[in-house]
Structure 1
Amino acid sequence: MARAAELVGESWTLLIVRELLRGERSAEAISQCITGISSGVLAARLSTLQRAEVITKRGQSGEQPVFRLTPAGLELRPLVEQLGVWGQRWLPPPRNGQLAPALLVQDITSEIDATALPRRPVAVEILLSETPEPSHWWLVLSLGKAEAHLKDPGIPVVVRIAATLSALTNVWLGHTTWLHAVRSSSIRIHGRPDMVRSVLAWLGFSRLAKIQRAEHSLPRS
């Protein structure tokens, strides 16, 4: 246990693993989803994980390399997921400075049930406020596939969502509801009523939103 903790217990390491559990990623894509990590620290952690054969790197000369988990790295999934469950149960909702827009959007995209999406691709435009860049996103949704884009994909936008980063995060994590957020004007949704209902059903909530909260949260650090 001590040897394992020495390898994966360093700051940021399990967050890097969390991102790679979504699939192979470049260092830039990883850094967008981890608030506060410096490029130097990220490079050092990736190098350590490579030497330990928890991740591998691939990429041709002149291309931005991408990283992926080895079988050993993939076996860390239960640990990462259980940390998320514990945090949802015991920790207070995150503050705005603890949030990353890319992490939120990628998290939403990865949990969409792609089998329930329409055959013809549609786009959902998301504009986040009170957040660092990138704040403007498009979700492209079609049967079998849900993708997040930073540029207009040229696909018809059926619903536009304007929200503060913290408001959308709190809805996603189940700390509040869409209705409450809309009534408080922290989230504004534009689109035909039938499409709005469909989009909200497609987006759903984080699987962590189902976790029963502890009666008393731990104090903020």
Structure 2
Amino acid sequence: MSGHGQFCPVAKAMELLDERWTLLVIRELLAGSTRFNELRRGVPHMSPALLSKRLEHAGLVRKRVEGTRTDYRLTQAAEELRPIVDGLAAWGGRWIGELGQEDFDPHLLLWDMRRQIDLEAWPRRRTVVAMRFTDAQPSQWWLVCREGDLDLCDFDPGFAVAATVTTRLPVMTRIWRGGRSWLHALRAEELRIDGDADAVGRVPVWLGQAGRASVPRPSERELAARREPALAGT
């Protein structure tokens, strides 16, 4: 991309980071993805060709080949972006609450859940929680946890299901982001959990919410101040 024509460090940094998808690829690598297909699941709307190009980005990602295995690691320069990416995530969770229909993606939601769910709360024996979305395709997903390892399936794995969560995709997305609580969604009948009585009560703990869901939301007063037009000069 063309430069900003400024010596300012912010401007120079943005010349490298402001290209579309670049920071999202960095976000995925910071979250622990190392394989090409893992990265694709984290940025599903990015073309494979463009992803390959971003993975060659100057000084941010290094490629490692061992036999038939290829993975990608962040360089020190990219690792130092971690607090910036974390700060952007916290700011976005706090101030950008409105989501459009294009923001709801079952693949991305379940992939993010799969890598952030706290498995310490799950039983050590194989436990399956099914997710059923009434307004999205694929509509059926299965989370299979066994001995501290979690698999995500978009096909029936053939194991007994402990509990099934039925809801709309926007509801589950907002719960995961922290904009709505499990209790609120259940009381409002926006979400239903069926299955074994013990598992039904534990599903909200097993699935939980995203790591940044606890970021405090702005008060109504703060939101109103943000919406106020800028004062005209006199």
Q: Is the 8 A contact 1:123 1:139 kept in 2?
A: yes
Q: CA deviation at 1:12?
A: 0.9
Paired residues, number: 214
Q: Considering only aligned residues, what root-mean-square deviation do their CA atoms show, in Å?
A: 2.7
Q: Is the 8 A contact 2:27 2:85 kept in 1?
A: yes
Q: Matched residue of 2:164: which SS?
A: strand
Partner of 2:117: 112
Query: Greater RCO between the two (CA within 8 Å, min separation 6)?
Result: 1
Q: CA deviation at 1:126?
A: 1.3
Partner of 1:205: 209
AA matched with 1:206: A
Please list the CA deviations of residues 126-175 of structure 1 after superposition, one character each: whole Å capped at 9, or x if unmatched: 12343354x43211223432332333333321011122211101111221
Q: CA deviation at 1:90?
A: 0.9
Partner of 2:105: 100
Are 1:33 and 2:38 counterparts? no
Q: Matched residue of 2:32: which SS?
A: coil
> TM-score under structure 2 normalisation?
0.77
Please list the CA deviations of residues 23-67 of structure 1 after superposition, one character each: whole Å capped at 9, or x if unmatched: 23444443333364333432322222xx42424253756x7x543
Alpha-carbon distance in structure 2 between the residues aligned to 1:84 and 1:106: 17
Greater Rg by CA: 2
AA matched with 1:17: I
Partner of 1:67: 72
Q: Matched residue of 2:216: which SS?
A: coil
1:1-221 counterparts in 2 under 5 A? Answer: 1=9, 2-34=11-43, 36-48=45-57, 51-58=58-65, 65-133=70-138, 135-215=139-219, 216=223
> TM-score under structure 1 normalisation?
0.81
Q: CA deviation at 1:122?
A: 0.6
> Any stretches of 5+ residues in structure 2 without a counterpart?
1-8, 228-234
Greater Cα offset, 200-209 or 34-43: 34-43
The sequence identity of aligned pairs, in percent, is 35
4+ long deviations beyond 6 Å = none
Q: CA 1:132 to 1:70, structure 2 compared with 1: closer, same or farther past 3 Å?
A: farther
Alpha-carbon distance in structure 1 between the residues aligned to 2:121 and 2:101: 32
